[in-house]
Structure 1
Amino acid sequence: MKNKAFFWFVFFIVIINTKAQTYINSYQYWFDNDFSNAIKSPVTPLDQDFILNENIDGTALQNGMHVLNIRFKDDGGLWSAIASQYFYKLPIHATANKLITGYQYWFDNDYTNAIETQAETPLQEYVLLKDLDATVLQNGMHVLNIRFKDDGGLWSNITTQYFLKLPIHANSDKKITEYQYWFDNDFLNADGETLNNEQNLVLIKSIDANALSNGMHTFNIRFKDDGGQWSSFISKTFLKASADVANNQVIAYRYWLDEDFTNAKYIDIDTPATLINLDESLDFSNISIGDYTFNIQFKDTFGKWSAIVSSDFSLNALNVLENDFKNSIAYYPNPTKGMLNINLGVNYDKVTIQIFNVNGQLIKKEILLNMQKTILHLDYDAGFYFITIKAEEKNATLKVLKQ
C-alpha cells in the first residue's frame, strides 16, 4: 500500500448483459451528490466486458468520508445501475512515510471470520506472497477481500478479487492448452497461442509492445485448460520508456527469500550489460529444511528496479537419500530448470560429483579441487536424477527433479 496525496486507484469489473452484442461505449462518475460536476469518459475500443483501471482525481474534495459513484453506458444509449463506493480522504501529512504493519482478508461477505496478520517487518512497499486457505469454501464463484493497516492504525480501502473454486477432481492432471494476453483494457485485440497440452508451463516469450505509447501500461494474461476453463487473469503494471533507453544496462540485482525484503542482498554487477545471464552461486547455507520463495530484482542505469521475479523451491530432507555432511550441506532449487547450487558448508581439498539417471547410468562425473560451493548444469531431459557427492570420508546422495 503506497499512499498518494490526491488520487485513488479504482478497479471495476463491469459486465452488462442487457441484450446480445451490447458494448460499453462510455462511463460517468461523480463524488457524493455532486452530479452536476459528473465527468464522462469514452471507452475506446468498445468492449462487452470492460475493466476500468484508472486514477480518479479527488484534489477538490475536503478531507473526510466521501462516496464515488459510477455508471456505464452501452451503444444503445442505456445507462447501467449506479455503483457506489465509500472512501476516506486523508490529509497530505497523514499519509507521508506511513508503514504497512499488517493486513486482513476474508471471503465473500464473511467478515466475522476475517483473518488479520501482522507484518514481521513494517514496510512502505509491501509485497504479499502467501497461500490463503480456502478449503472450507464450496465449489463455485467467490470473492477475496483484503485491506492493509498502517502504523497510524488506519485501514486502506478494500481490494476485491473474484475467483472460481473448482472441485478437486477437476484440477487433477489438467493440461494447459492455450494462453491469451492483452494490454490495458484492449481485450478486443487480445493475442495468444495454442499449446501442446502442457501441465507445467514456463512461458518465455518476447511480447510486441511497439504500438503502445510511452508511459504506464498494464499487461494481462490468462491460461486455458483442456476442460475449456480459463484461469483468473494475472495483471502486471509496467513502464514503457522512451527510445533513450536503447543503451540502458543492468548494473545490479538484489534477492531475498519469502517476505524478508529487509534482509535482501544487494550485488553490483562487475560488467554492466544490456542482457545479463546470471550464473552465480547464491548463499542460502543458513536456511533450514522447508519451502521457500526466491525473489529477485534487477537495477538499470537509470536507477530503476525491474518487476520482481519469484520462484518456489524446497529444501527437503526426503530428497537426501544419504548424507554424512549432516546439516552443513544445502542444494537448491529443487525442482530445478537446469541450474543447481550446491554448498557443502566448508571447504574440501577434493570433491567428486557424479550424476546418474533413474536407470542407474552414469551421465557425468566431475572432480573439483578446493571446493565449498559449485553450480551444476543439468542440461538433460526432464525427470529425476541422482547426484552423489564424495569429499574426504563423507558421502551424500541427492534426488533432484529436472523440469
Structure 2
Amino acid sequence: MKKLQILLLIFGVWLKTDAQNIVQYEYWYDSNYGSTTLVNNSSGSTMDLNTSLSGTSGLLPGLHAVNFRAKDTDGKWSSAITEQFYATGNWNIDTYEYWFDDDYANKITNTVTGTQNYILTSNLNTSAVGYGSHALNFRAKDSAGKWSIVFKEFFFKSIGGAQMSNAEYWIDSNYANKQPLTFTSSNIVFINQTLLTANLDDQLHTFNFRMQDQAGKWSVVTSSYFMAHNQIVGYDYWFDADFDHKKATAITPTDLLTTEPDFDTNGLSAGVHVVNFRAKSSSGKYSATIAQNVTVYVTPVFTPIAQSCSGAVLTALPTTSTNGITGTWSPALNNLATTTYTFTPNVGEFALATVDMTVAVGAITTWDGTSWDNGTPTCTSKAIINGNYSEAVNLEACSLEVTG
C-alpha cells in the first residue's frame, strides 16, 4: 500500500477550509462510486491523509484511478480529486506514454526506473494544446512488454499567465448546478468524470465551460458533446427537414467530442438553416436529436462578361448574383478601357465578402496611311482609318471608323 500513502499526501494541500471543519471523507476506485468507502474525521479544518486505503486487492493489474473528496460541518462536499496509480503483478513498470485528444501520432513517451509502484508526479507538457477542454490519454508498459489499457481524463487549460484564475462548467442547460474550478500555477485543472456523468441517461449531452479572469470578466462559453455511459463512435446530421439526405460521419471512439462536428454546408442557400445532429454510441444506438441554427454565408457568383468593343454601349452589371445575393457595383462603367469593378453586398445579405470582376474592353488601333499604331486589328479591336488604305487583305474589327 506504499504507493497509495505517497499518492494521498498530495491531497493534504487541498483539504483545507477557512471556516468549517472536515468531518468525513470518502474515496473510490475508477468509476465504481457504488463501492465508495466513507470515513469519519476529527482533524479540524485541515487534514493530511497519510493512512493506507483499503480495497485495492481486488483491482486487476493495470492503470487505475483513486477518487477522493471531503465533507465539512455544513454537509457540503468538496470537488473530487483524482490521481492515477498502476497496479501490477510481478512485473515492473518501465515506460509510459501520453497524448492529448485523438493526437496519438504526437504522443510523448518516457522511460522510468523499473518499479512496481510508480506515481507520476512530473508535469505533463501541454504546450501543444489550445485553451479550453481536452482529453489526456495515458498508458504504461511493464517489463514484459505489455501495455496497460488507456486511461483517459478530461482537463481544462487556461489561456495562461496569471490573468485566468477561475472556471466553471455545467451539463446541458443545467447552469444552476454548475461546478466551480480554480486554476493552479500550471494553468491546468482536471475534472472527475464519475461525478460528471453521475445520474445522467445515456443520451447526447453538452459539456459547457467558461473561464474568469482576475478582473471578474468571463470568457465566452465553449461546449463539447459526450454520452454518459458509452463512447461516441460517429454521428449523423442533416439540414432543415431533409432527413433523406443525412450524412453519416465515423470518428475515432471518444468519451468527449472536444472538437465541433464538421457540418458540410456546400449546396445550401445563403441564410439561416437548422442542422439536426445525433451521435452514435459504441453500443450501436443513436442519441436523441439535437437541433441548432446555423448561418450559411456564401461568396457572390457572377457570369463573366464577354470582352466589349471600345466605345460600345456596355450592358449594366447585374445587381443580383447567380446565387441570390443583391448589391451594388463600383466604379461607374467605363467603355473605353478594361476596368475591374467591385460588388458590395447589401446590408443584411448573407455574403462572405466583396467580389471583383474585370470587364475587358478591346484596344483601339489607328491606320495612319502606312501602318497600324496599335497592331493589326482583331475581332475585339476598334479600327480607325485616318489615311489612305489599300491593303489587299480582309480587315477584321469589332468597330470601324473612317476619319481620313
TM-score (norm 1): 0.27
Structure whose alpha-carbon radius of gyration is higher: 2
